[in-house]
């Protein structure tokens, strides 16, 4: 009898403890986090009036969930992205231009990407500048990089 | 194992039982939290009920248990112990007194400050019809009523109604504070007044520009949180059925975030995850081609978030008049018994009672929310707009320095409860067929408007077999059915003695004037008019019965058969209707007449398209006779059929619709496609009208107008074509094709959605309370006969 009671209590405790665990989905869903990444272009002394960049996720754990503009008035509107490149190849191709006389020089944040990341490991991006141009449409030299954004 | 003593056993059991109890308690807490986090509210409470089927027991069923939605609209009472802020609790509907509530009420009423709080903070006292549960509660001959009555204002009087948005049970902190949406925003009304009701959607701004026959429309929805804790806003709204939505922006302060098009399920998961993590996020999904749901998560108290949606579409054109339409409200749909994927119509607090996956919450007739609308249309037609007419609204019109006509909705007419319909004529009376093109990195796109030759008006028609089908359901009751009857009356009177006719009515079932169409003799016309006069609105919308009755009887080969459906189209099973129509169409041509201030234009257009006919709209301000005269003018001349197009060197492909529709007098056809190479000098269209060859020439001179948005319009048209095919080809899986097309062109569809997340910051606390934006019932539609409470 006592053995039976002991077994029943053990089963009851075990069952309750097991059921109290959150479902697997919960852990899975909690694994994602959302991080902003700032995209900078440094065009030196050249006025930057247009750009196109190509960003690839090397980790395969990120999803873009929003695109925001940059800090200068020239690029403060959210840039456009190429939906076909994103859908078919997973590449983020961003582009923007200004027709006003407000091209920027030096290093400037031109866009901010809002990303969903799976897991705690940092994201790893390959960023390429496809083209940078001045107000007359001439190609200019520039560097592009991407950093995790701050609030 | 060592033998345990009896005392040890007792100790073991005594120590273990509380542990079990505690574990179970924490588990149940975890479950309730998970329910708030993971259960998709739209997927809850499926049932085979609809708003015509519920009975008293359904009506008085308890709230659906979805703690994240507003429920309860009956008696309420303050329970704020501190007296700092009033807090309210909804009392679920019940004809019987609920002892625990009564005890709670009595206990709370023992605190005098509860009764003295007055109307501060939007307190829910106002005059209005007495809700049933209030009457039930008040009618109880027990001590409670007397206790309540001892406190001035604590009880609603017979002519008062109290509204409450229930708090989220998951937000325990807010519950303790009593300062959340459950208390701060009270909904109430006065019987003879319209009192503003705070809702999280403050304003909708619509800015449209029209060039040639293409409209580019920017819609901005301004969400704000009027409550004292953060919320998720959910808003079900309409857009034109042919809108190619390809841009979505979320604005927080001065920051704009462009939304990303994603697979629908993936977008929902992203949105849900962002919501749980406290990020401001938004999600736009399509429920029908003309019905959408906007969700905005984690709006903090006092904060504002704007959503901007941009779309393109072609305008309708009919006998010299262009027509621009912006729908403002989704009409309350009838869903056949057993359906669960329709669009339910429920009153505030009746969340889940329609049993449908999507629900629209309606304000009752005398209520209105603070949500209003502004709208401006700029028409750049290239020529002066000679005449314009706004069917349902008061507008102000001016011409700017660039000779553009600007039509603006008057501030006096800013309640979004009817379609905005603007018709205009340009100065050049002779409208020519025209080609518009656009090229981008993906290739060339075009639309071609083919206008029928005026010479077709000289041809006369064959005898007709005219079938009038009248929707006599509850939503048509009142002015809509009178409008429709007036149009049919005119139609019957317009028949010639060698024509035949039939009148069919449907609501819960269908009945008709006779077994078969009768000759339009004087006596039969008189009999038909009397039959028509006696028809009344009421009951469900079993449109399927109307379709069967109208299309099933044998066709008279000597006559052209025209079937005229007069309906508001307020149904949730559009696919089923269209499928049945396709299967039974035969030699009939279907003309659909959308009746009322906010008809289901998606259904009306698709019926006409499938039925090789045309669509017309009969708003509450239109003259039924004029609309019918116009229809008879169109069918009084043979259509131009078997159209063949010589593209003149243009290498066209993927042209939609695939089969070029017949051309009716005064009614152009628009084709949309892709092309390679250059545009030729001219395009020739040939066909047969009344046995005679006819030809139309479109001079392009190698050039054409360049218009943004044509790529999106083409992709949207192709998606519509795929959806049409799926309607009558059950074995065809179109989801992959549509998904791929929509993702490549950044387009809304039934399989894709826009999502935007602000990952830069997180709001504090849990995900907040879900507030569904209640909308006005469409003008002319009766709340009592269409909305489930």
What's the pTM?
0.75
Measure in Å the smallest separation between the Cα of A82 and chain B Cα atoms: 8
Tell me which range, B49-53, B157-161, B552-556, is most confidently predicted by mean pLDDT: B552-556
Q: Are residues B155 and B109 in the same domain?
A: yes
CA distance B773 to chain A (A): 25
Question: Are A65 and A116 contacting, i.e. CB atoms less than 8 angstroms apart?
Answer: yes
Strands B692-699 and B682-689, sheet pairing? antiparallel
Contact A87 B277 (CB under 8 A): no
Whether residue B188 is found in the same domain as residue B216: no
HEC secondary structure over B125-158: CCECCCCHHHHHHHCCCCHHHHHHHCCCCCCCCC
Cβ <8 Å between A87 and B745: no
The count of structural domains within chain B is 4
**Nearest residue, CB atoms, B257 vs list A32, A66, A115:** A66
Residues of A in contact with B272 (CB under 8 A): 29
Q: What angle do CA B435, B441, B443 make, to 5 degrees?
A: 40
- Does residue B340 belong to any structural domain of this protein? no
d(CA A54, nearest CA chain B) in Å: 16
Q: E strand or H helix at A9, and its extent?
A: helix A2-20
**Quick check: is B60 in a domain?**
yes
The pair of three-digit structure tokens given for residue B73, joined into one six-digit string: 């609209």
Domain ranges within chain A, ordered by starting residue: 32-148
Mean pLDDT of chain B: 76
Domain-located, residue B523:
yes
Residue B401 located in a structural domain: yes
B258 within some domain: yes
- DSSP E strands in B451-512: the ranges are 464-471, 500-506, 510-512
Complex prediction ipTM: 0.84
DSSP state of B357: S
Summarize pLDDT for B729-769 with one digit per residue, the tens: 766 678 899 999 999 999 999 999 999 999 999 998 877 89
Alpha helices for B494-573 (secondary structure H): 522-533, 543-551
Helices (H) and strands (E) in chain B, counts: 17, 41
Structural domain boundaries, residue B417: 201-327+371-427+748-772
Task: Over range B259-268, report the average pLDDT.
Answer: 98
For residue B345, tell me if it sits in a domain: no
| Length reported for chain B | 789
Of B635, B661, B679, the residue that ends a domain is B635
- For residues B599 and B520, state if they share a domain: yes
**Residues B243, B141 share a domain:** no
Whether A84 contacts chain B with CB within 8 A: yes
Angle of the B479-493 helix axis to the B624-635 helix axis, nearest 10:
40
Q: Specify whether B142 is located in the same domain as B283.
A: no
Report B:729-788 residues touching A (Cβ under 8 A). 740, 743-746, 755-761
pLDDT of residue A44: 95
Respond yes or no on whether the N-terminal peptide bond of residue B657 is cis (omega within 30° of 0): yes
Chosen domain end from B153, B174, B193: B193
On whether both B399 and B446 belong to a single domain, the answer is no
Contacts of B141 (CB under 8 A, 6+ apart): none
- B261 and B284 co-located in one domain: yes
A127 DSSP β-pair partners: A55
What is the separation of C-alpha B767 from the centre of its chain, rounded to a whole number of angstroms?
Answer: 27
Lowest mean pLDDT: which of A124-138, B125-139, B245-259, B356-370?
B125-139
Q: Express each pLDDT in A92-138 by its tens digit.
A: 999 999 988 788 899 999 999 999 999 988 899 999 999 999 999 99
Closest of B88, B61, B86 to residue B162, by C-alpha: B88
B440 plus B535 within the same structural domain:
no
**DSSP SS3 for B18:** helix
Give whole-number Cα distances, B351 to B42, B47, B299, B358, in Å.
10, 12, 21, 10
Between chain A and chain B, how many beta carbons pairs sit less than 8 Å apart?
A: 119
Q: What is the pLDDT of residues B303-315, one digit of tens each?
A: 999 999 999 999 9
The answer to whether residue B490 is domain-embedded is yes
Q: What is the pLDDT of residues A36-70, one digit of tens each?
A: 999 999 999 999 999 999 999 988 999 999 999 99
From chain B, pick out residues whose CB is under 8 angstroms from the CB of A30. Answer: 276
B305 interface with A at CB cutoff 8 Å: no
In a domain, residue B343? The reply is no
Q: What does the alpha-carbon distance between residue A74 and residue B466 come to, in Å, rounded to a whole number? A: 62
Q: Is there a single domain that holds both residue B178 and residue B97?
A: yes
Whichever domain contains B465, its CATH number is 3.40.50.410
Q: What is the pLDDT of residue B667?
A: 86
Do B691 and B766 share a structural domain? no
> In the structure, how many helices (H) and strands (E) does chain A have?
3, 8
Residue B524 has pLDDT above 80, yes or no: yes
Q: Do B227 and B163 fall within a single domain?
A: no
d(CA B105, CA B77) in angstroms, rounded, equals 7
Co-location of B672 and B692 in the same domain: yes
Structure confidence by residue, pLDDT tens digits, B462-512: 899 999 999 999 899 889 999 999 999 999 999 999 999 999 999 988 889
Is the per-residue pLDDT at B19 higher than 60? no
Contacts of B603 (CB under 8 A, 6+ apart): B569, B571, B574, B577, B578, B592
CB atoms within 10 A of CB B116: 15
- pLDDT of A81 reads 96
pLDDT band at B13 (very low <50, low <70, confident <90, very high): low
Nearest CB to A16 within list B4, B27, B262: B27
CATH of domain A32-148: 2.60.40.680
DSSP-derived letter for residue B476 is: G
The C-alpha atoms of residue B275 and residue B259 are separated, in whole angstroms, by 15
Is residue A4 less than 8 Å (CB to CB) from chain B?
A: no
From B168, B1, B183, B151, select the one nearest B80 (Cα to Cα): B183
Any B CB within 8 A of A151 CB: yes
**What are the residues whose beta carbons fall under 8 Å from the beta carbon of B434, sequence distance 6 or more?**
B212, B213, B448, B449, B698, B705
Cα dihedral B551, B556, B558, B564 in deg (nearest 10): -30
- Assess whether pLDDT exceeds 70 at residue A18: no
Last residue of a domain, one of B193, B222, B248: B193
Give pLDDT tens digits for B589-634: 999 999 999 999 999 999 998 898 889 999 998 998 999 998 888 8
């Amino acid at each position: 009898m006592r053995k039976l009671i002991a077994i029943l209590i053990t089963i009851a405790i075990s069952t309750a403890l097991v059921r109290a665990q959150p479902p697997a989905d919960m852990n899975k869903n909690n694994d994602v986090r959302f991080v902003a990444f700032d995209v900078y272009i440094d065009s030196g002394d050249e006025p930057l009036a247009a750009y196109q960049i190509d960003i690839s996720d090397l980790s395969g754990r990120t999803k873009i969930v929003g695109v925001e503009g940059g800090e200068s008035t020239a690029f403060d509107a959210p840039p456009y992205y190429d939906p076909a490149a994103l859908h078919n190849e997973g590449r983020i191709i961003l582009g923007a231009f200004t027709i006003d006389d407000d091209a920027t020089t030096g290093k400037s944040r031109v866009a901010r990407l809002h990303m969903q990341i799976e897991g705690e490991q940092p994201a790893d991006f390959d960023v390429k500048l496809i083209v940078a141009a001045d107000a007359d449409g001439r190609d200019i030299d520039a560097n592009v990089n991407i950093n995790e954004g701050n609030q | 194992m060592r033998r345990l003593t009896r005392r040890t056993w007792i100790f073991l059991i005594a120590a273990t039982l509380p542990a079990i109890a505690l574990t179970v308690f924490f588990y149940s807490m975890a479950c309730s939290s998970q329910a708030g986090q993971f259960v998709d509210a739209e997927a809850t409470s499926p049932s085979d009920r609809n708003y015509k089927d519920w009975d008293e027991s359904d009506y008085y069923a308890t709230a659906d248990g979805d703690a994240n939605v507003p429920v309860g609209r009956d008696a309420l009472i303050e329970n704020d112990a501190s007296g700092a802020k009033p807090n309210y609790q909804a009392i679920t509907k019940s004809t019987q007194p609920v002892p625990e509530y009564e005890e709670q009420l009595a206990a709370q009423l023992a605190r005098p400050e509860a009764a003295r709080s007055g109307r501060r903070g939007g307190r829910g006292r106002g005059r209005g019809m007495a809700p049933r549960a209030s009457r039930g509660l008040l009618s109880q001959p027990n001590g409670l009523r007397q206790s309540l009555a001892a406190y001035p204002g604590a009880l609603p009087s017979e002519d008062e109604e109290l509204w409450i948005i229930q708090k989220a049970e998951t937000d325990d902190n807010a519950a303790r504070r009593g300062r959340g949406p459950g208390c701060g925003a009270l909904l109430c009304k006065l019987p003879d007044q319209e009192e503003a009701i705070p809702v999280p959607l403050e304003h909708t701004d619509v800015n449209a520009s029209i060039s040639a026959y293409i409209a580019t429309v920017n819609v901005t929805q301004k969400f704000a949180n009027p409550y004292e804790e953060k919320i998720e806003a959910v808003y079900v709204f309409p857009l034109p059925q042919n809108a190619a939505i390809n841009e979505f922006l979320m604005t927080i302060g001065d920051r704009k975030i462009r939304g990303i098009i994603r697979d629908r399920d993936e977008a929902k998961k992203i949105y849900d995850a962002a919501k749980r993590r406290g990020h401001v996020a938004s999600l736009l999904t399509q429920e029908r081609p003309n019905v959408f749901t906007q969700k905005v998560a984690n709006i903090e108290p006092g904060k504002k978030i704007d959503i901007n949606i941009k779309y393109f579409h072609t305008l309708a054109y009919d006998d010299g008049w262009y027509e621009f339409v912006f729908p403002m409200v989704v009409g309350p749909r009838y869903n056949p018994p057993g359906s669960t994927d329709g669009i339910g119509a429920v009153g505030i607090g009746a969340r889940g009672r329609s049993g449908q996956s999507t629900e629209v919450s309606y304000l009752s007739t005398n209520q209105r929310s603070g949500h209003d609308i502004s709208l401006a249309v700029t028409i750049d037609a290239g020529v002066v707009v000679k005449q314009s007419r706004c069917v349902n609204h008061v507008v102000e019109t001016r011409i700017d320095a660039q000779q553009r006509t600007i039509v603006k909705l008057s501030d006096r007419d800013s309640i979004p409860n009817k379609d905005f319909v603007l018709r205009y004529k340009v100065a050049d009376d002779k409208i020519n067929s025209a080609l518009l093109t656009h090229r981008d990195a993906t290739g060339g796109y075009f639309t071609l408007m083919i206008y029928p030759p005026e010479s077709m008006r000289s041809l006369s028609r064959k005898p007709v077999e005219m079938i009038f089908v009248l929707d006599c359901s509850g939503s048509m009751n009142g002015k809509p059915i009178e409008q429709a009857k007036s149009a049919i009356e005119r139609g019957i009177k317009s028949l010639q003695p060698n024509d035949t006719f039939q009148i069919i009515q449907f609501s819960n079932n269908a009945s008709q004037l006779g077994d078969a169409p009768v000759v339009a003799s004087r006596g039969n016309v008189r009999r038909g008019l009397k039959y028509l006069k006696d028809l009344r609105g009421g009951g469900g919308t079993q449109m399927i019965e109307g379709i069967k009755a109208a299309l099933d009887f044998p066709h008279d080969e000597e006559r052209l058969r025209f079937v005229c459906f007069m309906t508001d189209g307020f149904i949730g099973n559009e696919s089923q209707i269209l499928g049945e129509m396709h299967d039974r169409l035969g030699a009939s041509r279907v003309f659909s007449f959308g009746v009322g201030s906010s008809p289901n234009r998606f259904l009306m257009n698709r019926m006409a398209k499938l039925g090789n006919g045309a669509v017309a709209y009969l708003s509450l301000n239109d003259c039924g006779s004029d609309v019918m005269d116009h229809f008879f003018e169109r069918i009084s001349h043979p259509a131009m059929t078997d159209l063949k197009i010589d593209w003149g060197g243009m290498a066209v492909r993927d042209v939609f619709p695939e089969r070029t529709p017949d051309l009716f007098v005064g009614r152009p056809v628009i084709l949309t496609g892709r092309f390679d190479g250059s545009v030729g000098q001219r395009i020739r269209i040939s066909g047969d009208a009344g046995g005679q060859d006819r030809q139309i020439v479109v001079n392009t001179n190698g050039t054409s107008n360049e218009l943004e948005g044509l790529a999106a319009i083409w992709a949207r048209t192709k998606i519509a074509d795929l959806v049409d095919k799926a309607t009558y080809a059950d074995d065809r899986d179109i989801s992959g094709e549509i998904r791929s097309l929509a993702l490549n062109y950044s387009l809304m569809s039934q399989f894709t959605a826009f999502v935007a997340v602000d990952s830069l910051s997180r709001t504090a606390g849990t995900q907040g309370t879900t507030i569904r934006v209640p909308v006005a019932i469409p003008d002319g539609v009766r709340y009592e006969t269409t909305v489930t409470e």
